[in-house]
Structure 1
Amino acid sequence: MTAEGMTIGLYVASIEMHAPQEEPRLPEPAFYKQLAETARRKKIDFYVFSPCEFNADNGQLQGYRFLHQRWEKDICKLPDIIYDRRFCKNTEEQLACRSALQAIAARKPHIILNGTLPSKWEVYEALASDERIQPLLPATQRYSHGAMLRSRLSAPGSGLFLKPASGMQGKGALLLRWHTAGYLTISGRSKGNLPFQRRLGSLEELEQWLARFIGNSSYIIQPYLQLQLKTGEPFDIRALVQKNTQGRWRVTGLAARCGQTGSITSNLHGGGGVRSAKELLIAEYSEAVNDRLLKQIHEISLYAAEQLEQRFGRLAELGLDFGIEQGRRLWLLEANSRPGRSAFRRLGFERCAARSLERPLGYAQMLARRLHTPLITPLPVLDRSRYDNVQEVLP
């Protein structure tokens, strides 16, 4: 098999079908369509599937290919490369996805293109152990009970940020603030990603409310950072870093994500918008500040990607979120192993948008070549010794 003739299965947690003749409702339809068209140009067999499309009893997989401008179900070869884009909603989906992967692997070896990062707390611990990255991280603790907030919210004007250790898209994030007038406010996004605000009269009320809202979920606590534009909107800078065809980390592009006034997040799924990072930073600060910050973001993005890969195994791409406090202080806020890339098309950055699709496919081709090309020359047939192909895990 050549790298061009390989099969890539994009793996999702679930695919909705409401009627037999309807197209499937895919989690990221625009992205998958663009990826399918890019794969076709590269002569890669590409399809989308979930655990429901694989029959563990007979080993048959029926994936969705993008044909004739629509997704059509078809019998597919088991994948050589699995591009993992799972966003599991619950434990049941996680178990189903894991079971299907194990059953596929038992029938045919494959490579997982991009690994998964663990919880935000574990990622924080890994990055905080690096002396170069640690100063850029907001002080973070695991949330265990409401009483631990008392010392951190003791002074009027103080604030704390709580977010799910395994959350995404800003869901469940909370901003707690103690106001000089003697009351507390909770601003945040529900677990359905809807904005809300509560006013409470005491820390006791806060502890009771948090116990109900958080339940058994795992949360982390960080200080409230002033990461707003002059006009008051929250913003951050998203850096998309990806492996190229040589397996080297490269910054594909940057975008500024701006939330709505009064929102505590700038996430696009929460109603935020996008702007050119360079144009925003020059407008907010100066060209000199822009040059310094973007250079630092590029350098830290590449370095952090290397450190996370060494700690957690192969990764193909990462979204790294940076906050900027008062135009001077840079913070590394979060790392995401399932990054989006719609911001580039929204901004008209067609070259970055195209590269964001080509790079994971090009890296997959490189892995396929290494998987199917012997790195040790076999001895003559006369000698019946046999050597397995060697796969380089972290090229």
Structure 2
Amino acid sequence: MKDKQKQTGSSKWFKTKLLLRNKAVKPFIPDTRRFSKVSLEQMIHSYGMVYVKPERGTYGNGVIRAEQTGRQSYTYQYEETVRHFDSFDAFHKSLAKKTGSRKYLIQKGIHLLKHNNRRFDIRVMVQLSPKGKWEATGIIGRLGHPRKIVTNYHSGGKPTAIESLLSAHLSERRLAVLTEELNTLGTRIAAHMQKTYPKMKQIGVDVGLDRSLTPWIIEVNMNPDPYIFNQLKNKSMYRRVMRYRRFHMGK
């Protein structure tokens, strides 16, 4: 049972389908499909930009940002390399070669908010409290490397206080409301997933905000790194996250 949970927990496709069953969470999930030529053609023409990502993987490894830039012109970026194509067939052929035999997903592209011309998203840490209640214990921004498409710390992203990243986009009052909304979304996701993963004690919900400040669930990580919170000047979140973590590890 534990091995089965580990397998499904590492599958982005399984977790996406699981979250889609929750009516309150479903509206925040970008259109996500299995990688195929048909799916790629439909989605790139519908959305203009998509992310192609491994079904299993961590730290943003293997993620590709693909765009239609003209009627018959396409590009994709992998790490710091950008490639250009003059036809959809050539574009798909190159992507299929890049993905190889691994299972990949295609996700509707979210045009993330930027800070100093760098994309960022938000990680919401949700943990089971010592009293057995799901709580949002930390929230932090992840500022992407200027030349990369992912925001992960291990890919050169910088953990940053959300106040610093969002002050140019919304008022202090609106930030407080948004934070509460994200915390509620995080605890709702945890409670829903716990039905499938009863031994689960914590999750990290990665949320992207688009230009209209609409939140989108990019991914749910079942083994979130607690140490990114130690990068903040204010250590109160980090202390709380570690206190809850130690409580469950000590049991």
TM-score (norm 2): 0.90
Q: Is 1:322 the counterpart of 2:207 in the alignment?
A: yes
The aligned residue for residue 218 of structure 2 is 333
1:126 aligns with 2:11: no
Taking CA–CA contacts closer than 8 Å with sequence separation of 6 or more, which of the two structures ends up with the larger relative contact order? 2
Equivalence map 1:1-395=2 (5 Å): 117-143=9-35, 145-154=36-45, 158-180=48-70, 182-189=72-79, 195-229=80-114, 231-365=116-250, 368=251
Are the equivalent residues in 2 in contact too, given 1:115–1:313 (CA < 8 A)?
no
Secondary structure in 2 matching 1:318:
strand
Deviation at 1:278, TM superposition (A): 2.7
The alpha-carbon distance between structure 1 residues 115 and 216, as it changes in their structure 2 partners (threshold 3 A), is closer
Shift of 1:164: 0.7
Residues 169 and 270 in structure 1, CA contact (< 8 A), matched pair in contact too: yes
Amino acid in the other structure paired with 2:75: T
**1:247–1:363 contact (8 Å) kept in structure 2:** no
Stretch moving more, 351-360 or 131-140: 351-360
Distance (whole Å) between structure 1 residues aligned to residue 213 and residue 205 of structure 2: 19
Q: Which runs of 5+ in 2 are unaligned?
A: none
Counterparts of 1:332 and 1:199, CA distance in 2: 29
Please identify, of 251-260 and 180-189, the stretch whose mean Cα deviation from structure 2 is larger: 180-189
Q: What is the count of residue pairs matched by the alignment? A: 249
The residue identity in structure 1 corresponding to 2:40 is L
RMSD of the TM alignment (CA)?
Answer: 2.3
Letter of the 2:26 partner, please give it. Q
Query: Gapped runs of 5+ residues in structure 1?
Result: 1-83, 85-97, 99-111, 190-194, 369-395
Q: 1:115 Cα shift?
A: 9.8
CA distance in 1, matches of 2:7, 2:77: 33
- CA distance in 2 between partners of 1:148 and 1:116 (Å): 23
Q: Is the 8 A contact 2:72 2:88 kept in 1?
A: no
- In the TM superposition, residue 212 of structure 1 has moved relative to its aligned partner by 1.4
Q: CA deviation at 1:231?
A: 3.7
Which letter does structure 2 place at the counterpart of 1:342?
A: Y
Which residue identity does 2:150 align to in structure 1?
A: T
CA contact (8 A) 2:115 2:165 kept: no
More helix by share: 2
In the TM superposition, what whole-angstrom CA distance separates every residue of 1:294-346 from its partner, at most 9, and x where no partner exists? 01001011111111111223111111111111142111111111111222221
